[in-house]
Amino acid sequence: MSGISGVLTALRTAPVGPHETRGSSVVRPVVFGATDGLVCNLSLIMGVVAAAREDPHAVVVAGIAGLLAGGFSMAVGEYVSVASQRELAAYQVSLQRQQLNDTPEQERAILLEIYRGKGLAEHEAALITDRIMAGPEKGIETFVREEIGLSEEAVGNPVAAAVGSLCAFAAGAIIPLLPFLLGLGSAAVPVAIGLSVVALFGIGLAVSRLTHRGALRTGLRQVGLGLLAAGVTYAIGSLLGAAVH
């Protein structure tokens, strides 16, 4: 729960500086999950509406099924993805520790070359490398990050990522389904579209706070892509419905 609370706090709070990268741990499991849930279920519902001639029972069943299937799929996929990255990072740490013990001079040369490639002068690169090599156990993470490009801290927690993705997908997927659950009848379709547009624009605003991009442009992009997916699915559903009937 602490991981989810941290994500919500990050979304509510404006970035403290232009170089803040808080979005790297938020965009993927939460913003992506909410967008995926909303667009996926909106598209599914629109397809069923077109194919089933607005049968509310079919829409509700399909919407709930889409919410559950998509949510658990996102959670499992996110857990496996993050856990695999952490396992890879742990393996690289272990391998790096062994290499530092077996071939310290070779590892020193690799790190020295990396810092030279970053534009440091010879004496500067040598100074940093020697300080790291003086306490190699503390410098293992530096070796892994500089040589392999991995960091356990940047990967995150697989359980928090899975739960965050599940909750975000469900929160997004319930929005276009809600009017049908409330039994709004013929008004359910336009209300579902309206709520989805507002939610997509809101997600775009959240993304813009994390990426420092224009709020209006980002919000409209979210809305446009979501409606495009729903429109294509509606058209396909209409064709399928006409063929079946």
Please write the tens of the pLDDT for every residue from 61-72. 989 999 999 999
At what angle are helices 158-181 and 188-211 packed, to 10 degrees?
Answer: 150
Same domain, 171 and 221: yes
> Do 72 and 191 fall into the same domain?
yes
**76 and 119 share one domain:** no
9 found inside a domain: no
pLDDT category at 242 given cuts 50, 70, 90 is low
Q: Domain check: are 51 and 146 in the same one?
A: no
167 and 223, same domain (yes or no): yes
Domain enclosing residue 104, as ranges: 87-154
* 78 located within any domain: yes
- Are residues 76 and 165 located together in one domain of the fold? yes
Same domain, 94 and 138: yes
Over 60: is that where the pLDDT of 213 sits?
yes
107 and 199 belong to one structural domain: no
* Count of structural domains, the chain: 2
The pLDDT of residue 9 is above 80: no
- pTM over 0.85? The answer is no
Indicate the range of 74-83, 113-122, 221-230 predicted with least confidence. 113-122
Report yes or no on 228 lying in a domain: yes
**Listed residues 135, 154, 173: the one ending a domain:** 154
Is there a single domain that holds both residue 52 and residue 163? yes
In a domain, 144, yes or no: yes
| Pair (57, 43) in one structural domain | yes
Residues 71 and 118 occupy one common structural domain: no
Same domain, 67 and 188: yes
Regarding predicted confidence, which is higher, 192 or 128?
Answer: 192
- Mean of pLDDT values over 1-16: 49
pLDDT value at 108 more than 50: yes
Of 154, 173, 204, the residue that ends a domain is 154
